A and B are shown apart, each in its own frame.
Chain A
Amino acid sequence: MDEDYSTGSVDADREMTRLWRTWRTVFEMLLDRGYEVTEDEVQIPLADFKRKYSDPLGYPDRNKMKISARPTEAMQTKYTPLPSKSNPTPQPDCGTIYVEFCPDSTGVGTKQVRAFNHFVDENNFHTGVFITQTPISPSAVRLLSGVPGRICEHFQEQDLLVNITRHELVPKHVLLSPDEKARLLERYRLKESQLPRMQHSDPVARYLGLRKGQVVKIIRKSETAGRYASYRWVL
């Protein structure tokens, strides 16, 4: 009896720790994308996380784990398109982000995704991030990406266990604002289609939530030149 209880708590502990790492990565992701999150939220210690988000048995309670964050000023300027003749005062194309952890441990299908889409739509969030424990079904993926006017992304918990952008072999990716992009294209006398490309489904692009048509500056270390910058156009 006693032994059973201890193996259960070891299990719970392990799951809690894994989820804590995912949780921190999510906050680092929000910070890197430019949302308003505090230092304390990003660096939450395991003990605090356990106290806040576990059920009486010590297992994580994913129903409590919901995050919403507003974009910072810097992010808003970055996402504001250049003024044009038809649109002289453009609005920033970003807004409140909402992150939800799906509590179902197996078989996430269209039902959960539909509920999530509905929630995002009803509360007027600009972006939704749906995090599940298992892969979701193909039709659910299609449903998630098909919300008109909103951006819904999906991650698996295990994808976010480790923050890939902190790996030493992953160079720094910096999103260019429309103004910076225009200047880059002018300086090198390029059309955007002449830039090297990067897939929308690239892990770093997914991490940064990049959209089609944006340009990122990739800063690498170079033995000869110190730093080397290259640019990628997101498809």
Chain B
Amino acid sequence: MSSGRQVLKTSLPSAHAASASLTRSTPATARQSPPKAGMSRQEQGPLSARPGTDPRHMAIALHHARQIQAQKDAEALILDRILDLVQFPTSPSADPSSPSPDDARAFKSALTPFQPADYDNLILERNIEGLCGYTLCPHEHRKEDSRGAFRITWGAKGSGPGGRGREMNIVPKEKLEMWCSDACAERAMFIRVQLAEQPVWERRADDAHGAHILLLEEERARTQQQGKGKMRSAPSVNEVTGQLGDLHVHEGASSSAVFDHMAKLSVRDDARSQELALERGDAHPALYTGRVDVNVQENSRAAGPVMAPQMRPGDEKGGSIEGYVPRDH
């Protein structure tokens, strides 16, 4: 009786926490439909009031239902954005190497929830429309007339093995036909490697991955400002990957600051530890105490001194076996 009441006491707030905190942890989806939330609260009322139901189960079920809903919303959002980005750039005379700031900003903000696979879908969709796969390029993609399924591409002079000759690649035709030019291919792929692998509904609220996307031109301008950029007219793929390495170095610098923060964290700090749990993603606020409610309950000691068992009549013959008394021989 008392334990049942205790479950109610501890887990009802957490049931409410489940509804409050999930909207907090998935702001990127940001499409939690308000009527849905209202409906679930209605359902919650009578169900938790029914005797013999554990509100904790309800909280867990709601938690999972919300997760599924968030995932569906995110997928719908990504689909909408793909449909929008297929129409880019806004002006048909836009230059892919210096896109209009509005377009670039819209493009970058639209890409935030994307995974690389979604980005591939976007490229495919643009190709079906007959456009170059790079979103900020208004040109048509290449169409090769000859029938072969593969093409041989030659790299720049001195790109071959050992720095001699030319690098040779055998490329499937459809990979070449995705783009209008090699420059656009490079730009588009530079965007792709910056996208976060994790689907958006699993990302944490403070996950900066995929939030700050740089266009290839911006990245080049940045490295040139820092004096690192090699002044070459046609940078090779190696250079791009080198720049990617730079990116990671910068991330490393910021992550050391995170380590400092972590060191300062105290376990006792309640607000901080909640934040930490959110960041780790291991425990939902509703489930802080674990899914199984462990309730240690000590029995009150039996009143009076303990007595040794006494012989009863008939016990010397072994007594009865489940009510059956063996006959004497």
The chain A residues found within 8 Å of chain B, CB to CB, are: 107-111, 114, 137-140, 142-143, 146
CB distance A139 to B127 under 8 Å?
A: no
A–B Cβ pairs within 8 angstroms, 14 of them: A108-B128, A109-B124, A109-B128, A110-B82, A110-B83, A110-B128, A111-B128, A114-B83, A137-B121, A137-B125, A139-B83, A139-B121, A142-B75, A143-B83
- Within B21-42, the residues touching A (CB, 8 Å) are none
Closest to B128 in A: A109
Compute how far the CA of A174 lies from the CA of B127 in the bound complex, rounded to whole angstroms.
Answer: 43
Looking at the assembled complex, report how far the CB atom of A235 sits from the nearest CB atom of chain B, in whole angstroms. Answer: 15
CB distance B121 to A138 under 8 Å?
A: yes
Q: Tally of A-B residue pairs with Cβ under 8 A?
A: 35
Closest to B76 in A: A146
Looking at the assembled complex, report how far the CB atom of A193 sits from the nearest CB atom of chain B, in whole angstroms. Answer: 15
Residues in B with CB closer than 8 Å to A139 are 79, 82-83, 121-122, 124-125
A109-B129, A110-B86 as given contacts; A137 in contact with B79, CB under 8 Å: no
CB distance B128 to A107 under 8 Å?
A: yes
Cross-chain contact of B129 among A111, A138, A142, A146 (Cβ < 8 A): A111
Q: Which 7 residue pairs are nearest across A and B when measured between Cβ atoms?
A: A109-B128, A107-B128, A139-B121, A139-B82, A137-B124, A138-B121, A109-B125
Looking at the assembled complex, report how far the CB atom of A5 sits from the nearest CB atom of chain B, in whole angstroms. Answer: 22
A109-B129, A110-B86 as given contacts; A146 in contact with B79, CB under 8 Å: yes
Residues in A with CB closer than 8 Å to B128 are 107-111, 137
Closest to A108 in B: B128
CB distance B127 to A107 under 8 Å?
A: yes
Residues in A with CB closer than 8 Å to B127 are 107
- Within B118-165, the residues touching A (CB, 8 Å) are 121-122, 124-125, 127-129
Compute how far the CA of A110 lies from the CA of B127 in the bound complex, rounded to whole angstroms.
Answer: 11
Looking at the assembled complex, report how far the CB atom of B119 sits from the nearest CB atom of chain A, in whole angstroms. Answer: 11
Compute how far the CA of A172 lies from the CA of B225 in the bound complex, rounded to whole angstroms.
Answer: 72
CB distance B125 to A110 under 8 Å?
A: yes
Looking at the assembled complex, report how far the CB atom of B127 sits from the nearest CB atom of chain A, in whole angstroms. Answer: 7
- Within B235-276, the residues touching A (CB, 8 Å) are none
Best-buried of A107, A109, A110, A139 by chain B (most CB within 10 Å): A139
